[in-house]
Amino acid sequence: MAGLWQCQGVTRPDAPPGPVRQGSLREWNLAVVLGRIAAADRPPSRAELAAATGLTRATVSAVVEDLLAGRLVREAEPTPRTGAGRPSRGLVLAADGPAGLGLEVNVDYLAACVVDLAGRVRHHTVHRADLRPVSPAEAVARLAGLAARARADAEREGLTLAGAALAVPGLVDDAGLVRLAPNLGWRDVPVPALLDGHPPLTAHVDGVPPLVVENEANLAALGELHAGPPGPVSFLHISGEVGIGAGIVLDGALFRGARGWSGEIGHIPVHPDGRPCRCGGRGCLETYAGQEAILAAAGLAGAHLPADTATTRLAELAAADDPAVSRALADAGNALGVAVAGVVNLLDLDTVVLGGGYAPLAPWLRPPVLAEVSRRVLTAAWSPVTVRPAALGGAAAAVGGAGSVVRRILARPAGWLARQP
Ligand SMILES: [Zn+2]
C-alpha cells in the first residue's frame, strides 16, 4: 500500500470546504447536521436539529442514521423530559470514529498525538532527543515508529486514523518538501518520500490528504485557535523554542502568506548589526530571545539540559529571583517586544500568545514585551494589546495538526462515509 504517506499538492491543513456542487444535496445535509451537533453545547435531539437547520424531520432522521452508521455520531444517554412524552435522545460526536494524527519534528524532540472527532487528545507521546546530529532519514524513521505506536493505541480504542499532519520547524513548500529548517540543519528534505518507505498509518478518506507537512508555528496557531471559543479572532502565536516561529491568525483563519512562508519572526532583525544568525543574517530576534540565547545569557549554556528541563530550570531560577536568569529573561523579553511591536503595528492585532517554550516563561517575558509594545505600538495608549501564555503550551503544533484532520471530516463527512463498509 505505497503512497498512503504521499503528500497532496496544494492542500492546506485548515482549508475551508469547497462550494456545494450540483447534486450534492445529501453531502450538504450531512455536513450541516454534523456541524450543528459539533457546535451544540448540549446534545441536540433530532427535532431540535430539524428546527435549527430548517430541514424536515424525515430528512434529519435519515441523515442521522447515516452519521450513526458511519461512527460519526452516537446517541447520548437519554435525559428525562419534563411533562408527558418519551425521553429525548440527544446526539453527540462519536468517541470511536475517525481521528487525526498530529506529528512533530523539532530540534530536540519528536511528538505524536491523536485527536478524536470532538477534539479530545486521546494519545500524546513526546520523545526527547537532540536531532541536530541525526540524518533526516533517521529522524523520520524514529518519527514513523512513534506514529505506529500512536496508531496502535488509537485502534485499541476503536479509532481510525483518517489523515496526518506533520509539523516541522522550517519552510515547507506545497509538495511537502522542507526547503529549509535552519536549526535542524535541513535543506531540501523530501519528508513525504522518506515516510513512504514506512508502513502506512492512515486510512484513505476522500477529501482528507494522508499527510500534510506544515510549518510548526502555523499548526501551533491553529491548535490555539481551535482550543478557544469560535469566532473571528485575530492573534499572533509565537512558538519560542531553539528557533522562534509565529503563526498569524486573522479573523479566525490562518494567514499563511503567498507561499505559506509567513511568520518567520525569529529572523526579524532587532539589532541590524548584531550577532550572526544561522540564517546568514545578523541581529535576528532568535539570537537574543531563542532558547539557546537565553540559556547563554543566564550562564546555563554549558549545562546541556534537554529543552523541557531547560525551560523548567529557567522558570525555577526566575521564581527564586536568580539575578542572572532574571536579567536574561528581561533582555529576551525586550528583544521579543521590539519584534512583536513591529508586527502589531503592521497587522493591528490585539492579542499576542506566548507559546511553546515561552508559555512557562510568560510570567517573566510578559512584562518586558508589554513595555516595548506600549512604547512602540502607535495605538497601544487607547487600545491595549493582550499578551498571554498559550493554552496548549508545547503540544500545540501536534494537537493543531491532528485537529486540522478532524475538522476536514466535520466539514465534509460524506468523504468519510463513502469509505465505510
Ligand atoms: Zn536569522
Q: Would you report the helix, strand and coil content of the chain in percent, each value rounded to 5? A: 40, 20, 40
Task: Tell me 96's DSSP state.
Answer: S
pLDDT of residue 21: 53
Grid cell in block for residue 367: 512584562
Residue 295 CA to ligand 1 center (angstroms) comes to 18
Residue 182 CA to ligand 1 center (angstroms) comes to 9
pTM: 0.87
- Continuous segment of H or E residues that includes residue 233: none
Residue 284 CA to ligand 1 center (angstroms) comes to 5
Percent pLDDT > 90 in the chain is 69
Q: What is the β-pairing status of strands 244-250 and 253-255?
A: antiparallel
Residue 277 CA to ligand 1 center (angstroms) comes to 5
Residue 278 CA to ligand 1 center (angstroms) comes to 6
Task: Tell me 15's DSSP state.
Answer: P
- Continuous segment of H or E residues that includes residue 102: strand 98-105
Name residues whose C-beta falls within 8 Å of residue 106's C-beta, 6 or more positions apart in sequence: 131, 167, 168, 169, 216, 241, 242, 397
State pLDDT tens for residues 7-60.
Answer: 443 445 555 555 445 448 899 999 999 999 999 989 999 999 999 999 999 999
**Mean pLDDT to the nearest integer, 364-369:** 98
Residues lining ligand 1 (ion), CB within 5 A? Answer: 267, 277, 279, 281, 284
Write a three-state SS string for 335-388: HHHHHHHHHHHHHCCCEEEEEECCHHHHHHHHHHHHHHHHHHCCCCCCCCCEEE
- Continuous segment of H or E residues that includes residue 234: none
Q: CA 342 to CA 184: how far, in whole Å?
A: 27
Mean pLDDT of the chain: 89
Grid cell in block for residue 314: 529557567
pLDDT of residue 85: 60
Q: CA 219 to CA 341: how far, in whole Å?
A: 23
Q: CA 312 to CA 129: how far, in whole Å?
A: 17
Q: Taking Cα atoms as reference points, which of 409, 400, 417 lies closest to residue 162?
A: 409
Q: CA 335 to CA 327: how far, in whole Å?
A: 12
State pLDDT tens for residues 68-79.
Answer: 999 999 999 876
State pLDDT tens for residues 394-414.
Answer: 789 999 999 999 999 999 999
State pLDDT tens for residues 179-223.
Answer: 999 889 999 999 999 998 888 888 888 888 899 999 999 999 999
pLDDT of residue 53: 94
Amino acid at 402: A
Task: Tell me 87's DSSP state.
Answer: P
Please report, for residues 116, 156, 220, 322, the alpha-carbon distance to residue 113 in angstroms, rounded to integers and kept in the order given: 10, 15, 13, 36
Name residues whose C-beta falls within 8 Å of residue 36's C-beta, 6 or more positions apart in sequence: 44, 49, 52, 53
Residue 379 CA to ligand 1 center (angstroms) comes to 28
Least confident of 210-219, 226-235, 263-272, 388-397: 226-235
Residue 280 CA to ligand 1 center (angstroms) comes to 6
Tell me if 14 sits within 8 A of 207, measured CB to CB: no
Tell the residue number behind the cell numbers 492573534, with chain if given. Answer: 235
Q: CA 392 to CA 221: how far, in whole Å?
A: 10
pLDDT of residue 206: 86
> Where residue 108 falls among pLDDT bands split at 50, 70, 90?
confident
Residue 281 CA to ligand 1 center (angstroms) comes to 5
